[in-house]
Amino acid sequence: MSRTPLDTVEHAAATPDVELPWAELGLKKDEYERIVEILGRRPTGAELAMYSVMWSEHCSYKSSKVHLRQFGEKAPESDALLVGIGENAGVVDVGQGYAVTFKVESHNHPSYVEPYQGAATGVGGIVRDIIAMGARPVAVVDPLRFGAADHPDTKRVLPGVVAGIGGYGNCLGLPNIGGEVVFDACYQGNPLVNAGAIGVMRHEDIHLAKASGAGNKVILYGARTGGDGIGGASILASETFDDAKPSKRPAVQVGDPFQEKLLIECTLEAFKEKLVVGIQDLGAAGLSCATSELASNGSGGMRVTLDDVPLRDSTLSPEEILMSESQERMCAVVEPEKVERFLEICDKWDVIATVIGEVTDGDRLEIYWHGGKIVDVDPRTVAHDGPVYERPYARPSWQDELQADDANKLPRPETGEELKDQVLKLVGSPNQASKRWITQQYDHFVQGNTVLAQPEDSGMIRIDEASGLGVAIATDGNGRYAKLDPYAGAQLALAEAYRNVATTGAKPLAVSDCLNFGSPEDPAVMWQFAEAVRGLADGCKQLGTPVTGGNVSLYNQTGEAAIHPTPVVAVLGVIDDVARRTPVAFQEEGQLLYLLGDTREEFGGSAWSQVVHDHLGGLPPEVDLERERLLAEILISASRDGMIDSAHDLSDGGLVQAVVESALLGGKGARLVVPDGLDAFTFLFSESAGRAIVAVPRSEEVRFTDMCGARGLPATRIGVVDGDVVEVQGEFALTLEELRTAHEETIPALLA
């Protein structure tokens, strides 16, 4: 076994002709040439490792950047935004001196390969982003998409993903309060595992990822660094250095939630004592990312001695150490006189902490290994100056045909009996059925502040015990709508999440997003992406809710077949007193049911068209964001002034789905009358946006309808909460038992 000399900066300069495996590391030829140009010589193996991983699509957003700029350019004026796009997570002012940070990220590809660990480390990663802002994590949400519910591979992927999310989140002590589970054949082979988290802090506790102050120490703390999640760097190691190494390492990282729980407590204790100047979590691209981002965001440079990194596997090469994505690690910048106290706190929590370097006067990131300098770069060129692509995009040739295939022309039920059968089929279909079998594997109660959790319209957490101040979060996304019209689809996702937050009584404040699409190298996919971003940015501007951050996941496709464009939108809201929250469940018999908003014949992309006709075509529901804003104002006022006792937004599945859910959750039925001007089918199944149903106590009816009338929001009385059946007068009646059986038995029958 021979060993080539260490590939130092000096060695690289002296051996310009050495061929490096840039293509195997995923770099394009022009990207490699750009690196050579930046450095003025060939990169060392370690430098190449850093550039390749930091310039990847995942870390550099090279295909999406040109579009994502709109979120900044079109950002509405908002007093609430304390930290915007670009940091680990956005931060929003929620009043009373509190700030809330929240973000949604994807862990799609790892979760397909290894469902349990992929999903678990997705939770771990987003939670570290939240801690890195200075906040205590208080809740998680998980928007999920799987292939067809009855496909055998779904039975492999889904239980693993759900167990992974539960296994990690439950062990961290984070209540899981929301999210979605959607099945569609387009996600076969490309499940979407998005994970969101919320954290709370005082304004003065906000921390940022930057290394300032020459002489300050760089401390790596948490788990030891191992060989997991290295991916491409192994190629570099085996080809350049040592052929006898074990070549197959797990590409998916392995999570240790217990270690992460210690990391949370120890980090928060260090923040409390004001020991931390800058902080960054280690996620994708590991130390490469943490060192280059900390250094480039700060005022100076950074010198790191890689030999000091605690290792799980002593045979790791420096390239592998730089690229390792071992979980549960963080990097803090600490003033020299505070290092001892910082290490004491880590010791108290049994967390390994090591000084691995320091902030320097210069502007270079220098990394040493065995006494040799193996990295000497301008950190900005690694972290921020990655390639930017203006990828070609074009409206797909099939879009017109898809939109012309009008769902409104599908055969409709003609008798009460047919309506009844289709209602049962709808509420028992995998997408509309109860997801309790899944959500009961998540802890909703831990931390003792959960006010609302799924299946409520939004999750709600109390953040101040004395005043009752709380925050609400909802995540939504409808890939079917977005496939029919990505611009409208993104706005409908935003509108639904916004509406869901308002339905529970909270005021929507800000947005995070997770944009899941196919390959950016396909102009049709790129068009979907561009349209969705444009739609979301325009929508956020109109609703006054800025995008605070988020994540893009591309290449979600198998061969030529991309997933439906799936922008998942999270909206965060605030409520002055959680005692005013409005639940979904019907509370009292005799209360009056009102339908708010306008109902049109809109069936394109609807649950009904999918369940009854297996059809996707036409146009999605019309978007009217001014109407959404008015509806939200009415729902919030009604909640604040005690005019409604329950409310439910109308979205996929339409009115009948919402009524059935409210009835089953409350254990109380409803008698409905089809309003004048509507036929029973449209009344029950239409998915017109900008609508909700509310239950109004009789004593509040006049006050409530006067308010709607004065503000110009259509409010139609459609029935009353009563009995143990859901009845549509003159059409059909279904007992709660029949509905419960249909709604609750589907998912366990498929997956348990």
Instruction: Please say which residue, 176 or 432, places its beta carbon nearer to other proteins.
Output: 176
Q: Contact with other proteins (CB under 8 A): which of 271, 442, 498, 527?
A: 442
Q: Does 347 bind other proteins (CB under 8 A)?
A: no
**Dist. CA 419–CA 410, nearest whole Å:** 14
**Burial grade of 157 (CB within 10 A; 0-12, 13-18, 19 or more):** buried
Judge whether 662 is annotated as a binding position. no
- Which residue do the tokens 């029919």 mark? 484
Instruction: Point out which span in 36-44, 210-218, 441-449, 643-651 binds other proteins (CB under 8 A).
Output: 441-449
Q: Pick from 403, 391, 393: which is nearest to 483 by CA?
A: 403
> What's at 89, amino acid-wise?
A
Q: Establish if 157 lies at the interface with other proteins (CB under 8 A).
A: no
Looking at beta carbons only, is 702 or 749 nearer to other proteins?
Answer: 749
Axis crossing angle, helix 625-640 with helix 486-503, rounded to the nearest 10: 10
Q: How far is the CB of 508 from other proteins (least distance, A)?
A: 21
CB of 157 or CB of 316, closer to other proteins? 157
Q: Which is nearer to other proteins, 173 or 362 (CB)?
A: 173
Cβ contact 736:723 at 8 Å: no
> Least distance from C-beta 440 to other proteins, angstroms?
5
Contacts of 688 (CB under 8 A, 6+ apart): 597, 598, 599, 600, 602, 621, 622, 650
Contacts 24+ apart (CB under 8 A), 339-344: 339/217, 339/219, 341/273, 341/275, 342/219, 342/270, 342/275, 342/276, 343/219
Q: Which is nearer to other proteins, 30 or 350 (CB)?
A: 350
Q: Give the catalytic positions in this structure.
A: 58, 107
Site string for other proteins, 228-257 (x = CB under 8 A): ----------------------------xx
The verdict on whether residue 106 carries a ligand-binding annotation is yes
Residue 128 annotated as lining a ligand binding site: yes
Is 676 marked as binding a ligand?
no
**Is 550 known as a binding-site position?**
yes
Q: How far apart are CA 654 and CA 412, in angstroms?
A: 15
Among 103, 435, 462, 541, binds other proteins (CB under 8 A): 462
CB atoms within 10 A of CB 350: 9
Q: Which of 115, 118, 160, 166 is the binder for other proteins (CB under 8 A)?
A: 166
When the beta carbons of 122 and 549 are compared against other proteins, the nearer one is: 122
Three-state secondary structure string covering 591-605: CEEEEECCCCCCCCC
- Rounded least distance, CB 273 to other proteins, Å: 17
Q: Is 89 in the site for other proteins (CB under 8 A)?
A: no
Is the separation of the CB atoms in 654 and 686 below 8 Å?
A: yes
Q: Is 553 annotated among the ligand-binding residues?
A: yes
Pairwise CA distance, residues 577 & 162, whole Å: 32
Please tell me the distance from the alpha carbon of residue 97 to that of residue 607, in angstroms, as a whole number. 43
Window 170 to 189, contacts with other proteins (CB under 8 A):
170-173
Q: Contact, 133 vs 87, CB < 8 A?
A: yes
Asked if 637 and 645 count as a contact pair (C-beta separation under 8 A), the reply is: no
Residue 326 assigned as binding residue:
yes
Using the rule CB under 8 A, which residue among 158, 192, 262, 532 binds other proteins? 262
How many binding residues for other proteins (CB under 8 A)? 34
**In the range 564-593, which residues lie near other proteins by CB under 8 A?**
578-579, 581
- Note whether 676 binds other proteins by CB under 8 A: no
Sign of the CA dihedral running 696, 701, 703, 708: positive
**Least distance (Å) between residue 42 CB and other proteins:** 45
> Strand (E) positions, 453-596?
459-462, 470-476, 507-516, 547-553, 557-558, 561-562, 566-575, 592-596
CB of 287 to other proteins, least distance (A): 25
Interface with other proteins includes 559 (CB under 8 A)?
no
Q: Would the annotation count 313 as a binding residue?
A: no
Contact call for residue 642 and other proteins (CB under 8 A): no
Residue 220 or 585: which CB sits closer to other proteins? 585
Q: How far is the CB of 637 from other proteins (least distance, A)?
A: 20
CA trace torsion 486, 490, 495, 500 (10° rounding): 120
Least Å distance, CB 170 to other proteins, is 6
Give whichever of 465 and 614 is closer to other proteins, judged by the CB atom: 465
Q: Interacting stretch for other proteins, rule CB under 8 A, among 164-172, 363-371, 490-498, 643-651?
A: 164-172
* Residue from the set 315, 440, 699, 741 that interacts with other proteins by CB under 8 A: 440
Stretch that binds other proteins, among 205-213, 411-419, 438-446, 610-618 (CB under 8 A): 438-446
Q: Which of 115, 117, 89, 82 is nearest to 104 (CA)?
A: 89
Q: How far apart are CA 633 and CA 713, in angstroms?
A: 10
Cα separation, 499 vs 457, in Å, equals: 9
Which range, of 166-174, 560-568, 652-660, 669-677, touches other proteins by CB under 8 A?
A: 166-174
Closest CA to 121 of 200, 193, 224, 208: 193
Among 337, 350, 414, 560, binds other proteins (CB under 8 A): 350
443: contact with other proteins by CB under 8 A: yes
Q: Does position 441 bind other proteins by CB under 8 A?
A: yes
Q: What tokens does 23 get?
A: 């293509």
Residue 371 or residue 448: which is nearer to other proteins going by CB? 448
CB nearer to other proteins: pick between 373 and 648: 648
Closest CA to 137 of 261, 275, 280: 261
DSSP string, 281-334: E-BTBHHHHHHHHHHHHSSSEEEEEGGGS-BS-TT--HHHHHH---SSEEEEEE
Task: Collect all residues with Cβ–Cβ distance below 8 Å to 356 and sequence separation of at least 6.
Answer: 218, 219, 220, 304, 305, 306, 308, 309
Q: Does 139 bind other proteins (CB under 8 A)?
A: no
Is 450 a binding residue for other proteins by CB under 8 A? The answer is yes
481 among the known binding-site residues? no
- Quick one: which of 38, 163, 251, 254 contacts other proteins (CB under 8 A)? 163
Q: What is the DSSP string of 17-77?
A: T----TTTTT--HHHHHHHHHHHTSPPPHHHHHHHHHHTSHHHH-TTTHHHHHHHHHTPPP
The yes or no reply on residue 40 touching other proteins (CB under 8 A) is no
d(CA 384, CA 365): 14
Is 187 annotated in some ligand binding site? no
Token duo for residue 545: 């809710």
Should residue 261 be labelled a site residue for other proteins when binding is judged by CB under 8 A? yes
Q: Is 466 one of the binding residues for other proteins (CB under 8 A)?
A: no
Mask 733-752, x = binds other proteins (CB under 8 A)?
Answer: -------------------x
- C-beta neighbour count of 31 within 10 angstroms: 18
Minimum CB separation of residue 644 from other proteins in Å reads: 17
- Please count the other Cβ atoms lying within 10 Å of the Cβ belonging to residue 401: 10
Residue 120 in tokens: 């678990």
Q: In what helix (H) or strand (E) does residue 155 lie, and over which residues does it extend?
A: helix 152-172
Q: What minimum distance in Å lies between the beta carbon of 450 and other proteins?
A: 6
Name the minimum Å distance from CB 646 to other proteins: 13
DSSP state of 187: G
Binding site residue list: 61, 103, 105-109, 128-129, 253, 281, 325-327, 513, 550-551, 553
Binding site residue list for Mg(2+): 105, 129, 281, 551
Binding site residue list for substrate: 106-109, 128, 253, 325-327, 553
Binding site residue list for ATP: 61, 103, 513, 550
Per CB under 8 A, residues contacting other proteins are: 163, 166-167, 170-173, 256-259, 261-262, 349-350, 439-451, 462, 465, 578-579, 581, 752
